[in-house]
Amino acid sequence: MPAQASISRRQLLKGSPRPADFRPRPPGVTVASLGECTRCGDCVSACPEGVLGLADDGVVLLPDRGECTFCGTCAEVCEEPVFATDLRMSHTFVISNDCFVQAGITCMSCRDACPEEAISMQPRIGGPFLPVLNQSACTGCGACVAPCPADAIHAVRKEPADA
């Protein structure tokens, strides 16, 4: 899965800007339930980790601020049917080519930060170990994002866009 959305040929020739990056959402929030968000901010102020924010289209997860611990406080305080009872993330993360290992610099900060051990390091001949993210083990918590010095870890949608 690509970390960045691509633009069409027409958009490129017209000089249209690149599509907006995908915004990760808190656990239990889907594209369908996001329409119920009134952007009141109750979930943002209740989040003990401080990793939630508000965007034009509703609540967003801000993994560059830290890790979501799936505590469920955001869902408890929300008066609208935004959060499902199944507190899973509708996204996962990918490691882009901006990773320092692509430039020959040894770095294992993403692996060290991942509480699920979803990131392993693959040995390479003549270069630093390459981080490999196991998509099925990734919970989408974002613990790996803030420690990444290269800003190389990006959220991608796990569910269909119309779900």
What pLDDT is attached to residue 147? 96
Specify the residue for token string 């294992």: 108
- Same topology, domains 9-77 and 93-154? Answer is yes
Would you call 83 exposed, middle or buried from its count of C-beta atoms within 10 A (0-12, 13-18, 19+)? buried
Query: What letter represents residue 104's amino acid?
Result: G
CATH code, 93-154: 3.30.70.20
Q: For residue 120, which phi and psi values (nearest 5 degrees)?
A: -115, 165
Q: Say which CATH class 9-77 falls into.
A: alpha beta
| Share above pLDDT 90 across residues of the chain, in percent, rounded to a whole number | 71
Tell me the per-residue pLDDT of 81-137, one tens digit each, with 9 for 90 and over.
Answer: 999 888 899 999 999 999 999 999 999 999 999 999 999 999 999 889 999 999 999
Read off the pLDDT band of 11 (50, 70, 90): low
What pLDDT is attached to residue 6? 57
Separation CA 155–CA 141 (nearest Å): 10
**Please, what is the average pLDDT of the chain?**
87
The four Cα atoms 24, 30, 36, 41 give a dihedral, to 10 degrees, of -30
What pLDDT is attached to residue 162? 44
* pTM for the structure as a whole: 0.80
As a whole number, mean pLDDT of residues 64-82 equals 95
Query: What letter represents residue 33's amino acid?
Result: S
Q: What are the structural domain ranges in the chain?
A: 9-77, 93-154
Q: Where are the alpha helices (DSSP H) in 54-154?
A: 73-77, 109-113
pLDDT at 1 over 70: no
What pLDDT is attached to residue 110? 96
What pLDDT is attached to residue 7? 58
